[in-house]
Amino acid sequence: MRAHDQAPKLHRTGTHLKKSSNAKWCKKASFPRDLPNISLIFIFVNEALSVILRSVHSAVNHTPAHLLKEIILVDDYSDDEQLKGPLEDYVNKRYPGMVKIVRNQKREGLIRARIEGWKAASGEVTGFFDAHVEFTPSWAEPVLTRIKEDHKRIILPSIDNIKHESFELERYENSGHGYNWELWCMYINPPKQWWDDGDTSAPIRTPAMIGCSFVVNRDYFGHLGLLDSGMDVYGGENIELGIKVWLCGGSMEVLPCSRVAHIARMKKPYHSNIASSTRRNALRVAEVWMDHFKSHVYLAWNIPMENHGIDYGDISQRVALRKSLHCKNFEWYLDNVYPEMRRYNNTLFYGEIRSSKATHLCMDQGEKVNHTATLHPCHGMGPQLGRYTKEGQFFLGALGSTGEETRCLMDDQVSNFPQLLNCDKVSNTRLTTWHFSQNESIVNRATGRCLEVIQANVYFGHSLVLQTCSGQRWSIKNTMKQ
């Protein structure tokens, strides 16, 4: 889900989620009959007709009739003929008067598709879903109760998985929704307070949303400026909404007692390179909302902060929105809503690290088990994302969010190869620090040995070694501007 095609593992970092069971608590809950009604909005591109219909049937079957205002299907310019007449005929016959179909005249992307659905909605509350989800009984009542109590809450039903090969339901652990600095979303452990309170049916505070399922008061969503319509295709809007609602006076939470299951597809029936639009969208979020922490997004994507050549479009209206809503600053959000998020304020230089001796090769994480940095033809992706800090440490690897720090370089005084490990665990920290500035040598502060490149029969004809300094120089692609 929301899986980055190249790196789906990023989205499942919540592997250390503790076990929790909330079934018995949820059954006890009772809800007022008088709740706000809801419009359910599904967006799709070339989704299988049968899958859309499963979503619609389960919505009708499991949402109390007096609360279901309507169902809106937004066709984001599909070309599958089944989704034209046949879809329309079926739903009109089966659910007369219940289903509105909105057709985009060109491919707008999921962000603007959701906005089109919202425009067509007339319910007091709007629920947004991928068109391959299934609802469980009583999914709606707890959600609408929380919104009735406070219309500034954005509510995320808990997501379970429908296995795409068998349609088998797989229950996921209770979790919040977080993200890394590239703004790819992922499940995260619920806050410590939630565990300490011991009520696994209680709402889970969440810094952002995965995005395949969220419910919000219709007018309040409009007041918040909906999603950022300047974003294209996919990704980033889910993080923007989380940041925005928290900074501008509302909140976002996952409800363990409301469960919606989602099919995580292997292959998307649109656009093969979503990363380029997600990156562009992420820069919009960074520039509008993140104040000086925007540097972290540039760092994570390995983009220079100036002259990067990426056209992220006009953000003036979003900046004006932030001002008009009198929103707090991003540091408040990190301190109070996403304290687990790792900060990288100590970065001086970032990007690929190259030696003057072999400029086509870059320092690379190599195999984790070898605990040593290596050389590899430059590509600038995760394993080659280097970082030199104010403290004088070198890190290599994609930025995490809440997990372990990326590994760092050490001279262990014995080996001729630089070690790559978790430097927090090294007692003699001087062994992990280095003298360096752009186009200078890399010199270990404890041993005085230099990191250099020699000719060898490994790593593309070269090897990375620690030796007596011979004057080799290094550069790191980007310089941080705070």
Q: Which residues bind ligand UDP (CB under 6 A)?
A: 1-3, 43-45, 47, 76, 107, 109-110, 113, 130-131, 212, 233-234, 265, 268, 270
Which 3 state secondary structure label does DSSP give 66?
helix
Q: How far is the CB of 223 from ligand UDP (least distance, A)?
A: 24
Cβ proximity to Mn ion, 76 vs 411, nearer residue? 76
The item of Mn ion, ligand UDP, none sharing an interface with residue 3, based on CB under 5 to 8 Å by kind, is ligand UDP
**Gap between the Cα atoms of 210 and 214, Å rounded:** 9
Give the single-character DSSP code of 223: H
Contact by Cβ (8 Å): 315, 234: no
Helix axis angle for 49-62 and 85-94, nearest 10°, is: 20
The item of ligand UDP, Mn ion, none sharing an interface with residue 76, based on CB under 5 to 8 Å by kind, is ligand UDP
Q: How far is the CB of 265 from Mn ion (least distance, A)?
A: 7
Residues that bind Mn ion (CB under 5 A): 130, 212
Which 3 state secondary structure label does DSSP give 95?
coil
Give the single-character DSSP code of 208: S
Q: How far is the CB of 75 from Mn ion (least distance, A)?
A: 16
**Gap between the Cα atoms of 474 and 21, Å rounded:** 53
The item of ligand UDP, Mn ion, none sharing an interface with residue 182, based on CB under 5 to 8 Å by kind, is none
Q: How far is the CB of 170 from ligand UDP (least distance, A)?
A: 15
Cβ proximity to ligand UDP, 152 vs 265, nearer residue? 265
Q: What's the maximum distance between 2 C-alpha atoms anywhere in the chain? A: 81
CA angle 53, 56, 59 (to 5 degrees): 150
The item of ligand UDP, Mn ion, none sharing an interface with residue 154, based on CB under 5 to 8 Å by kind, is none
Cβ proximity to ligand UDP, 158 vs 365, nearer residue? 158
**Of 55, 74, 63, whose CA–CA distance to 37 is shortest?**
63
Length of the chain: 482
Contact by Cβ (8 Å): 183, 177: no
- At residue 402, what is the residue type? T
Q: How far is the CB of 12 from ligand UDP (least distance, A)?
A: 13
Cβ proximity to ligand UDP, 130 vs 182, nearer residue? 130
Cβ proximity to ligand UDP, 234 vs 333, nearer residue? 234
Cβ proximity to ligand UDP, 212 vs 353, nearer residue? 212
Cβ proximity to ligand UDP, 131 vs 476, nearer residue? 131
The item of ligand UDP, Mn ion, none sharing an interface with residue 312, based on CB under 5 to 8 Å by kind, is none
Q: How far is the CB of 316 from ligand UDP (least distance, A)?
A: 25
Contact by Cβ (8 Å): 327, 248: yes
